[in-house]
Amino acid sequence: MVADCTYLVLFPDNPRTGTWGRGSSLSFRTAMQQHKRVFVVTAIPPLSARRTRVIPASLCGVVSGYLVVPANAEATHAA
């Protein structure tokens, strides 16, 4: 499913605690491996890895969260 998307939107499994389930974690890791952007709906920013950028953002003004962009996503999408 991640291979066919332009970017992935993830919501926490438990909105009260903001915890992530196995499916969300797997989707996030797969999206990063495939150089896809991920919008994470959360109040707590995800940890920034060496090859990612975490940017505070809003999804169409509806929900707030963070956009996680792999460092080489721009080159991949420009090609």
Q: Is a pLDDT exceeding 70 seen at residue 25?
A: yes
The DSSP annotation for 5-48 comes to -SEEEE--SBTTTTB--HHHHHHHHHHHHTT-EEEE--SSPPPP
At residue 50, the pLDDT reads 73
pLDDT digit string (tens) for 67-78? 999 877 654 444
pLDDT digit string (tens) for 37-65? 999 998 888 877 778 889 899 988 889 99
* β-bridge mates for residue 65, sequence order: 57
At residue 64, the pLDDT reads 92
This prediction's pTM? 0.78
| Beta-carbon-side half-sphere exposure of residue 79 (alpha carbons within 13 Å) | 5
